[in-house]
Amino acid sequence: MPGRVAVPVPVMLLSVVAMAAGLCGCPSSGRHDASQNSPSAAASESTVGSPPPPPPPTLGRPWPVSARGFGEVEPRVVHYGGDPTGLFEDVSWQDWGKPETVGLAMGWFVPAGEAVAGGRREPEVLVAFDLDECDGQLAYQHMGSFFPTEGEHFDLATARSESYDLCRGP
């Protein structure tokens, strides 16, 4: 699979712990002020006559019928089509809209030397990057993935050279 490179286990475990800690979304003070979500609070924050914010970026552009998640904002399922090694389910994205975004997902890990049928579901990390215009729409143009529990890590140079161009498709 494109974008996978081996890494020492201590580095991998630190990466998983750091990502999991950032996914909580919990306020640092431990309390929530419900008035912040009121319609009047939202109205007071917007400026009359200001242009609407740009639409959020998508994960590339829509792909052929057998693929899923491409051309969507924060897709929960991404599938290149074909066998399960290109299927990422239950994706939870972090920092969507930033130059790089990380998604925690369940993927299909196939041990070296095994057939795809000999694989198993494991946590997989997706990294979408190269945020730029794609047919007039802001989109992530590449995505790499790795299995931290198997000692893999993300390497931007390798992922860029080995991943599909999400604007053009397979």
| Cβ atoms of residues 127 and 102 within 8 Å | yes
Choose the weakest-confidence range: 22-26, 48-52, 85-89, 138-142.
22-26
Taking the whole predicted model, whether its pTM rises above 0.85 is answered as: no
For residue range 106-115, what is the model confidence (pLDDT) as tens digits?
999 999 999 9
Query: What distance in Å separates the CA atoms of residue 135 and residue 1, rounded to the nearest whole number?
Result: 26
Give the model's confidence band at 45: pLDDT under 50 very low, under 70 low, under 90 confident, else very high: low
* % of the chain exceeding 70 in pLDDT: 72
User: What is the domain partition of the chain in residue ranges?
Assistant: 5-23+55-162
Query: What distance in Å separates the CA atoms of residue 7 and residue 127, rounded to the nearest whole number?
Result: 16
Query: What distance in Å separates the CA atoms of residue 61 and residue 168, rounded to the nearest whole number?
Result: 7
Give the model's confidence band at 46: pLDDT under 50 very low, under 70 low, under 90 confident, else very high: low
* Whole-number average pLDDT of the chain: 80
Bridge partner residues of 121 (DSSP): 108
Query: What distance in Å separates the CA atoms of residue 64 and residue 60, rounded to the nearest whole number?
Result: 12
Burial 130-161 (b: 16+ CB within 10 A, else e): bbeebeeeebbbbbbbbbbebbbbbbeeebbe
Closest among 165, 138, 157 to 73, alpha carbons compared = 138
Q: What is the pLDDT of residue 131?
A: 96
Asked whether residue 15 carries a pLDDT value surpassing 70, the answer given is no
Q: What is the pLDDT of residue 5?
A: 44
Asked whether residue 11 carries a pLDDT value surpassing 60, the answer given is no
**Pairing between strand 78-79 and 137-146?**
unpaired
Strands (E), the chain: 5-6, 58-59, 78-79, 87-94, 101-109, 120-134, 137-146, 152-153
Closest among 160, 141, 70 to 99, alpha carbons compared = 141
> Can you say how many angstroms the Cα of residue 107 is from the centroid of all Cα atoms in its chain?
12
Q: What is the pLDDT of residue 47?
A: 58
> Tokens 């491409």 belong to which residue?
70
Choose the weakest-confidence range: 40-54, 75-89, 137-151.
40-54
Burial grade of 19 (CB within 10 A; 0-12, 13-18, 19 or more)? middle
